[in-house]
Amino acid sequence: MTIRSCALLALLGLIAAGPASAQQGAEVTITGKCERLVIGGVDITQNCKEQLVNTVSRGRTTFDFAAWDGQSLSFSGAGTQHEQTEETEQLQPISLVVPGMKNKEGIVRSPAPAVGSCKFSKPEPGKTMIACEATSQGKTYAGVFLTESKAGAELGKEGAKDGAKDLPKDGSANSPKP
């Protein structure tokens, strides 16, 4: 399993583990395929980057999608409220969407209360899909991301240089966000 795959499994495992783990801080950049990105009802899937950032910090879980045209979209919810919907699927309620746009001064973010959820399969080797959908002020926000975890490598060995930014040197997934 590659370091990125291990990092994904570790972070999604933190979310799946429950409230105590959700209080810890961790951030993982996941590579894969962005299959859908809709911001405020506008489908910009063709611009979606092939990476997703998942953060667990201060009791909140956030899934951050980004596009090559400077737009971004974050789905955020209280990590302590996630629930298991099936034996292999987790559901993270979403209470906030944060569309963003990069300009000369930086990134302008517009947080808005939302109702929705992110679903993801229980962390295991193989394909993992993270699907988020929410509505806010009558507009639709959606993101679907697919990553494939490959078996065969141990954490801390193969691909360690590539995964260094994803995990602390000790291999844990609970260091605070810089």
Which pLDDT value is given to residue 27?
A: 93
Mean pLDDT of 21-27: 65
pLDDT at residue 24 in the model: 60
Q: What are the residues whose beta carbons fall under 8 Å from the beta carbon of 42, sequence distance 6 or more?
A: none
Q: What is the mean pLDDT of residues 141-152?
A: 80
Q: Where are the domains of the chain?
A: 3-163
Of the pLDDT bands very low, low, confident and very high (cuts 50, 70, 90), residue 155 is very low
* Alpha carbons 122 and 89: distance in angstroms, whole number: 5
Burial tier of 147 (Cβ tally within 10 Å: 0-12, 13-18, 19+): buried
Q: How far is CA 132 from CA 14, 23, 82, in A?
A: 18, 21, 13
Average pLDDT over residues 23-48: 92
- The predicted pLDDT at position 28 comes to 92
How far apart are alpha carbons 42 and 140 in whole angstroms? 8
pLDDT at 89: 84
pLDDT (0 to 100) of residue 5: 40
Give 108's strand partners: 101
Mean pLDDT, rounded, of the chain: 76
Mean pLDDT value of segment 108-137? 90
**Rounded mean pLDDT, 27-40:** 95
